[in-house]
Structure 1
Amino acid sequence: MNLTAALAEHILHSQPNTSAHAQAREGVRDFLAVSWPVLQGQVPDSGLPALRSLYHDGSVRSQALLLGYAGHALDYDDFHADFRGHPSVVILSALFAWQQYEPKSLNLFLDAYVTGVEMAGRLGLAVSQQHYALGHHNTATLGTLAAAAALARLLTLERDATATLLGIAATQASGLRAQFGSAVKPLHAGFAAERAVTAVQLTLAGIGGRQAGVIEAFLAASSSGQAQPETLLDNWGTPWRISTPGLEFKPFPTCAGTHSAAEAARMLRQRWLAAGKSLDMLLNQIVDITVAFPPGGDLAASISVPAHGIEARFSLEYVIAAMLIYGDLRLQDFAEGDLNHQIMPLAARVRRIPDERAPPDAINPALRFHDVTLALADGTTLHQRRTRQQSLAEGVNVNRKLQLALKDASPDLLAASALRSTAELQALGRAVLSAL
């Protein structure tokens, strides 16, 4: 059996366990928490109104695109280490759009979501770190295939149809990291969800496509000869990747590649204040800030001097300065529009110093760290190291995140997010899609 056919078999026979379903419910709640503020206009965002003017026909494709954009607009949605991208925003946007068109049971919906995340993680391993290093945006490229796999499971397609679907999705997959810091970056998630829906519709309409060799060609063309296709199939679902290594929920509305640096800065701030010293004294004494990390560890957080709030999400300098000043990364400082000019003077004192003694980040991003050092006017220094694993170990309270996002919404919406029944799934889907 060829690779695509074997992959189709794995997708269609996926039977996630109750633990994977529990993680899927948590993923849905996080998705609602990060998309609802954009859908309701609680934060500045000119992209969604512009897209609404173009994609206003209410079709499944248009709804998938709009929801994908809204879910990624704040860069606050979950991340998956194997995928090296944001799986849920693409997968759930496609699933919710199709669910309203052709309702399925809650268990089937959750099975499809878990299957999509499994596909996402395996694709990330199969294309290797080279895919991202070459300039591809995994959420856009691999996300198209992951969402297509999820839809195939939702619709319980036959093997040959699923193989055709995967080939159509693969031939459409695209998206460049060069768009980071612009509205096109979240639109990548929308494009990927739309393309997955389109691939299903083309397959169901009888459009013929090759059922063998396309996945292999995609891997070869997008990984500079470093593809590992065997990882697509080996030990499928043991354990489910939605559980291990699992979805990583974000504590801050910034690039995940900035988070351990932000936490190191917060720890320095807390230590200073705990000693009974004033914040003004600290900020006035800082003459230099350095941040060290493994070589290539700032590939995603590549913008040193942001021009606006969206670019600031990808700036280690701005993130560190914001955390030192406010003790948090506030949504308003990373929203569309002007920068916070109280942050910029301090951000200008931050210097990046890759630690050449550490293995390159591309070898194992799970080992990433940030060392933040403050040099003070009196000649003393303050230093804090924070690893990615330490950040992940603390976790994120998704329910609290959701409650804050839904503070002005109907209590029924928060109740439905528990996803205890198919009726609650339908209610949640109607609420989200009606906000488009």
Structure 2
Amino acid sequence: MTVSYSSSLARSLAAAIVGSTPSSAAREKARGGLLDFLAVTLPVVRGDIADSGLRSLRQVYPSDDAQSRALLLGYAGHALDFDDFHPDFRGHPTTVIVPALLALAAEDDSERFLDACVIGVETAGRLGLAAGPQHYGLGFHNTATLGTIAAAAACARLVNASPSQVAMIIGVAATQASGLRAQFGSAVKPLHAGLAARAAVAATQLVLAGFEGQPDNVLEAFLHAFGGGGQQPEKLTQNWGSPWRIVAPGLEFKPWPTCGGTHGAIDAAKAIRHAWQAAGKSIAMLNAQIAHIEVSFPPGGDIAASVRQPVNGIEARFSLEYVIAASLLRDTLRLQDFSEAPVDPELAELAMKVSRCPDASAPPDALDPTARFHQVTLFLHNGETLQQRFTRQQSLAQPLDLTEKLRGCLPAASEAQRADIIAHSRLETAESLSQLSRWLFAR
């Protein structure tokens, strides 16, 4: 779709949100995003995995209104840091968009719900491009900042807001957008997603109730204030939906419950482990032989994985050192290994042997995060060196079965229960949205 560019970014964006029709392929991708969201959120809301943050939030937000429900569900969806990622957005779109939509959706909104998801992801990806790489580099958490606006766009589409109302909703949402990467490794990081979802719902409700703000120049001001000089506002609506951002580059689903900025290192470490075992050697022998470990990556490639000596599993999600140790010594990375409990002493001891060695010969990560790589090198006491390198594209090329991910996240559920979740995630029956809400908003 070609969108005419006017003097107001919000009005141009509103025209795109109201006037575009997602493709069937885009809707199918939205179904995949919803299934992944259910897989990573249900263990938290059901209490299968202890989460003190959610317990505290429920004391403050009793979930008897749409804004509170959006906040609680947004938090729960991001609590495990196992939810989907979008490279253009450089953040986690579904955990902001879906909670906001579920908080507002009526029982008969299934088709509009899917279209709104597509619109939300489209807005998220294009906001990431428009804000530019310096937004994240300045210390902002895109899921929180850009996610607020993206979720508001999705909500505006869901409620059939008029173009003028959409522009107003976007402006009210943008003025609430906030969130700092300094909170990574704490419960505030997933709270960012909840706050963004709540702000999107509030902006929608306020405008529909007749509340007025500035419809023009707010997005321009937002990008100027948050872009650090690298903003490219024309990318917000340019070639809208061609292709849909949910299709290409598409949502990325995590195979491991850790920061996406650690996954290349995990794959490299696992490749070393597998090669060692294939030679008939034990992992205990490998651990005893390791003198030192180096991990290299493009300069700035560890900006999200900033924790070097984690104290608990939540911090460990953002530690290259810890995930490398865990990948070398464990068969798989389990959800419970990255819980609120203290880190494993054996893994922490090996993690102390890891040094970060940015590769100065590689282009900075901020220039093109899709070109990121991790190279893990083990130096053994006998003088032997073991090395593996994984690019981000190699990691993404490995197949991931979302039904298997659901099974891993809900091991206590029966096959019939999991099949029911999968069926309702497709939103092909009249009761599906109501059933999803019952599962996700249960206390």
Q: TM-score, normalized by length of structure 2?
A: 0.96
Q: 3-state SS of the aligned residue for 2:291?
A: strand
Aligned with residue 371 of structure 2, among 361, 367, 373? 367
**In the alignment, which residue of structure 2 is the partner of 1:45?**
51
From 54, 65, 75, the equivalent of 2:71 is 65
Of 229, 242, 249, the match for 1:238: 242
The question of 1:55 aligning with 2:61 is answered: yes
The answer to whether the aligner puts 1:432 opposite 2:440 as a matched pair is yes
Is 1:423 the counterpart of 2:427? The answer is no
Secondary structure in 2 matching 1:342: helix
Percentage identity across aligned positions?
57
Quick check: 1:249–1:395 contact (8 Å CA) kept in 2?
no
Q: Structure 2: which amino acid aligns with 1:14?
A: S
Which amino acid in 1 is paired with 2:95? V
**How has the CA–CA distance of structure 1 residues 260 and 57 changed in structure 2, closer, same or farther, with 3 Å as cutoff?**
closer
**Structure 1 stretches of at least 4 aligned residues deviating more than 4 Å after TM superposition:** none
- Alpha-carbon offset, residue 44 of structure 1: 2.1
Matches within 5 A, 1:382-393: 382-393=386-397
1:127 aligns with 2:131: yes
Shift, 1:84, TM fit = 0.3
Is 1:44–1:337's contact at 8 Å kept on the other side of the alignment?
no
**Partner amino acid, structure 2, of 1:416:** H
- Say which of 265, 271, 283 aligns to 2:287: 283
Determine the structure 1 residue equivalent to 2:107: 103
2:291 and 2:353 in contact (8 A); partners too = yes
d(CA) in 1 for partners of 2:412, 2:357: 44
How many angstroms apart in 2 are the aligned matches of 1:121 and 1:213? 20
Measure, in 1, the Cα distance between the counterparts of 2:409 and 2:280.
34
Distance 1:33 1:164 in 2: 34
Which letter maps to 1:128?
A: G
How many residues are treated as equivalent by the alignment? 433
Describe how 1:222-261 pairs up with structure 2 within 5 A: 222-261=226-265
SS across alignment from 2:386: strand
Deviations 1:148-168 (CA, angstroms, capped at 9, x unpaired): 000011011001111110000
Quote the offset at 1:406 in angstroms. Answer: 3.7
The Cα offsets for residues 20-54 of structure 1, whole Å up to 9 and x where unpaired, read as 11110010000000001111111121011111111
Q: CA deviation at 1:421?
A: 2.4
Local SS of the residue matching 2:120: helix
2:174 matches 1:170: yes
| Aligned AA (2:82) | Y
Q: Aligned equivalents of 1:73 and 1:66: distance in 2?
A: 10
Post-superposition CA distance 1:125-161 (Å, at most 9, x none): 0010100000000000000000000001101100111
Aligned to 1:161: 165
CA contact (8 A) 1:24 1:113 kept: yes
CA distance in 1 between partners of 2:355 and 2:312 (Å): 20
How far, CA to CA, are the matches of 1:368 and 1:327 in structure 2? 25
Q: Offset at 1:104?
A: 3.9
Which residue does the alignment assign to 1:189?
A: 193
The 5-angstrom pairing of residues 196-207 of structure 1 reads: 196-207=200-211
CA contact (8 A) 2:42 2:439 kept: no
Residue 349 of structure 1: aligned partner: 353
Mapped to 1, the partners of 2:108 and 2:324 lie a distance apart of 45
Per-residue deviation at 1:4?
1.2
TM-fit CA distance, 1:57? 4.5
Asked if 2 retains the 8 angstrom alpha-carbon contact of 1:406 and 1:414, the reply is no
Give the alignment of 1:300-319 within 5 angstroms. Answer: 300-319=304-323
Partner Cα distance (1:199, 1:111) in 2 = 20
Provide the residue aligned with 1:112 in structure 2: 116
Q: CA deviation at 1:407?
A: 4.1
- Counterparts of 1:431 and 1:224, CA distance in 2: 42
TM-score (norm. length: structure 1): 0.97
